Copies of this chain bind each other. A is one copy, B any other.
Amino acid sequence: MADPIRFEILGRSKRGLARLGRVTTPHGTFETPAFMAVGTRATVKGILPPQVAATGTQVVLNNTFHLMLRPGEETVAAMGGAHAFMGWAGPILTDSGGYQAYSLADINDIDDDGVTFKSIVDGSRIRLTPERSIHVQNRIGADIIMAFDDCPPSMDPDSGPTNQSRIRMAARRDAERRRGYDHAGRLRLANERTVRWLERCRQAHQRPDEQALFGIVQGGTDLDARTWSARHVTAIDLPGYAIGGVAVGEPHEEIVRVTRHTAPLLPEDRPRYLMGVGYERDLVAAVLAGIDMFDCVLPTRNGRNAQAFTRAGPVRLRNAAWAEDPGPIEPGCDCPACAPGLHGWTTPDGRPISKSYIRHLFMAGEMLGPILVTLHNLRHFQRLMLDIRRAIAEDDWPAFAREWPLAAGAVPAEVWCAPASGGIPPQG
């Protein structure tokens, strides 16, 4: 059986456990550390695939949950799979649908076999099991598919500072049903289920030489639970592993703590994917902990809501201060809005698109506002990844920190200095 993907490590940083790599898939390669653009319903909202590619994005994420409900996996399969369906020739990853089933839907039942929930499209009763998730992902046809896991709240919903109210609500319903919520017990159950379900996913996988199945380590913020999960998940031989249940509302320090503990427990020679993370500082810290792949809705979702990312911090483009500001979102940025001339866009006197104009678009409810800021934000994150990869290749993090002072400055000092305890020391 041919391996569906190949992971090459091309370089390592002396700082931390960062590695530079390349993943080769049936639909081309992507460089790691990689940031995947989120294309929930087989579209990065408002952005044509060639525009996505022009931001430097090499791999796109689609959501199994959304596509199985609409248009349905059989439609995607009939159109030749996700790549042909959305017109994206590069690598695609699908999640398992589990996270959305837990966080978006009305859960009717969770048991050892799977999850039953109400469709957000038509209210019908939907059953998702490890076998069903993998079948759907086989039909959608992404290059990397994710195990179906039990995704509990990362912290005790009655005490922890989580901002994901839906997950908390689901946990509370869960708690009510069980008449007495035992967070440690719930995590243990989720951990055990996740391993049992992973084995079922592996066995259900019908296209193992075309699609790489990644296992997911859970365990919330309990490091012992993470250790247990990592040991049992990685005992199942798979082309890659992910850390799940991290970016669900914890502060930066918790993300760093869990990632630094868990990443080194994953096999050195497989890509490591930190799901749903995150802000720039989170990405830098996670790369230094040995993470290779990321996805996050921040550039696209916040962009649609008029928040631009810049190296000097976020810019809220609805702010009245920009009403007559002729400057671009971020001087020096090479995105289509900040540097239209680099993108075949002739403007009068070669001027950039002004914050004044973008504010006007948002105030008027015009689609072009979300489009321009999404393009800017995706480019912002891809430039961050480019600079991270350069920092690893040249082992020059001080140069990186000069370019990204806020992101680098927010990373705890110990992350820069030494491998995490329990980690595998850098090689090569």
Contact = CB atoms under 8 A, between A and B. Distances in A.
Contact of A360 (B71, B344, B360): B71
A211 to B, nearest CB: 15
A49 interface: yes
B348 A89 contact: yes
Interface residues of A, number: 53
Contacts of A340: 50, 87
Interface string A37-65: 00001110111111001000000000000
Contact of A356 (B75, B349, B361): B75
Interface string A354-379: 10110111011011101110000000
Contacts of A359: 71
A317 B78 CA distance: 18
Nearest to A360: B71
Given A336-B48, A345-B87, A346-B89, A79 B356 contact: yes
Copies in the complex: 2
A347 interface: yes
Interface of A: 27, 41-43, 45-50, 53, 66, 70-71, 75, 78-80, 83-89, 323-324, 326, 336, 340, 343-349, 351, 353-354, 356-357, 359-361, 363-364, 366-368, 370-372
30 contacts: A41-B361, A41-B364, A41-B366, A42-B357, A42-B360, A43-B361, A43-B368, A46-B46, A46-B371, A48-B345, A50-B343, A50-B344, A50-B345, A66-B364, A70-B363, A71-B363, A71-B364, A75-B324, A79-B324, A79-B357, A83-B348, A84-B347, A84-B351, A85-B354, A85-B356, A86-B357, A87-B348, A87-B357, A88-B348, A367-B367
